Amino acid sequence: MRTLNRSIVLNAIKTFGPIDRACIARRINLSPATVTTITADLILQGLIFEKEPGDSRGGRRPILLAINPQGAYVVGIKLTETHAIAALTDLEATVLAKRSSELSGSDPESAIELMAQLTNSLLMEANIPSEKLIGVGVGLAGIVDFQEGLFRQSTFLGWRNLPIRDLLREKIKTEVYIDNDVNTLTLAEVWFGCGQDIENFLTITVGRGIGLGIVTNRQFYRGSGGGAGEFGHTVIDPEGFHCECGKRGCLETLVGDPGLLRLARSAFEQGELPVQPCDIGELAQMALDGNQAAIRILQDTGKILGQSIANLINLFNPQRILISGEGVSRGPVFFDALKNSVCSYSLPDLYSDVDLRIEPWGDDVWARGAASLVLRSLFESPVHKIIK
């Protein structure tokens, strides 16, 4: 009960702060005495602090409480098949330091070792004592059982049912949280980003794969086994290219980075592109420079992804769709085609409800998302009570 009330008070201060003790008590239906005890404890731990007095209609002005961003720190890590990107953040998910490093092998031991090293070097770089670190969050591409701490399936690394949370916790002697990487990004939007003020939204990540995070009534939708959101593996062309999941013609075989680069290679072989682009940024630049083949590739694939997003709009009727991921670098040629296609293929009434946003991208966004896993555990009450 004590832990529960502590999370509820912290969340109220995060959501409504700076706020005085009497208002907290009214907002969350706790007695003023309980709020006073809990806030005294939180001040002692350095997680909140007293700000300048607030307005008062007559009488003494009440003292306001606010979250102390530097009260504790967390590390977020995104693990890919080739490297790990890590960021150290404060309690407001502001990135204070970041690092990335290549994996020395594809075995779990190398990955655990690398994540422990990155955590330690970030703490040293930012001069943060290890007792101020309240946890490490890890975002993983694949199917993750976040409650059991199991990486159930990684198509990129070939791991199955790996207890990665406990292995890392053992190594670094700090609380560890793991989740699917798209889920961590979505979580960061719920708690610190464009999802704070809305009930129903989707996060779509575009890059090597295509991911989906689903939030309905401010609750994260995971499905029965934690695998919901495998949007990239919805089949578009049953006779199409082989996918890493073992099927054929999945959405991501057509509109994931390797799909676009395959089209670019074939255009180059036909003499339609001056050079074979080695990454998506180069292809996007060729389109901006007016190369017709590059424009065609980005428009055609943008249209296909737009059609699939229109299907999601018809299924979920979201208030907002946030498009994120490295693939944001595909630029306006791709995203204009995508937006036109979303408009053409979704039901007009549902389309008019959606605010479709292309999010700015940086290499620390994944790691910040992973850090939000830990921050959520601090602010969210154990019964997932959402304070309105």
Q: Which residues bind Zn ion (CB under 5 A)?
A: 233, 243, 245, 247, 250
Contact 301, 255 (CB under 8 A): yes
Residue placing its CB nearer to Zn ion in the complex, 59 or 225: 225
State the nearest-atom distance from the C-beta of 308 to Zn ion, in Å. 13
Calpha distance 21→13 (Å, rounded): 9
Calpha distance 224→226 (Å, rounded): 6
State the nearest-atom distance from the C-beta of 160 to Zn ion, in Å. 17
Mapped onto helix, strand or coil, the DSSP state of residue 277 is coil
Q: Which residue from 51, 55, 57, 12 is spatially nearest to 30, judged by alpha carbons?
A: 12
Residue placing its CB nearer to Zn ion in the complex, 163 or 249: 249
State the nearest-atom distance from the C-beta of 251 to Zn ion, in Å. 8
Mapped onto helix, strand or coil, the DSSP state of residue 151 is strand
Residue placing its CB nearer to Zn ion in the complex, 247 or 357: 247
Residue placing its CB nearer to Zn ion in the complex, 124 or 241: 241
Contacts of 176 (CB under 8 A, 6+ apart): 135, 136, 137, 138, 149, 165, 166, 168, 169
Q: What is the DSSP string of 45-95?
A: TTSEEEEEE---SSSPPPEEEEE-GGG-EEEEEEE-SSEEEEEEE-TT--E
Residue placing its CB nearer to Zn ion in the complex, 118 or 250: 250
State the nearest-atom distance from the C-beta of 342 to Zn ion, in Å. 22
Residue placing its CB nearer to Zn ion in the complex, 166 or 244: 244
Specify the DSSP class assigned to residue 228: T
Contacts of 329 (CB under 8 A, 6+ apart): 280, 281, 284, 361
State the nearest-atom distance from the C-beta of 301 to Zn ion, in Å. 16
119, 123, 129, 132: CA torsion to nearest 10? -60
State the nearest-atom distance from the C-beta of 245 to Zn ion, in Å. 3
Residue placing its CB nearer to Zn ion in the complex, 78 or 233: 233
State the nearest-atom distance from the C-beta of 249 to Zn ion, in Å. 8
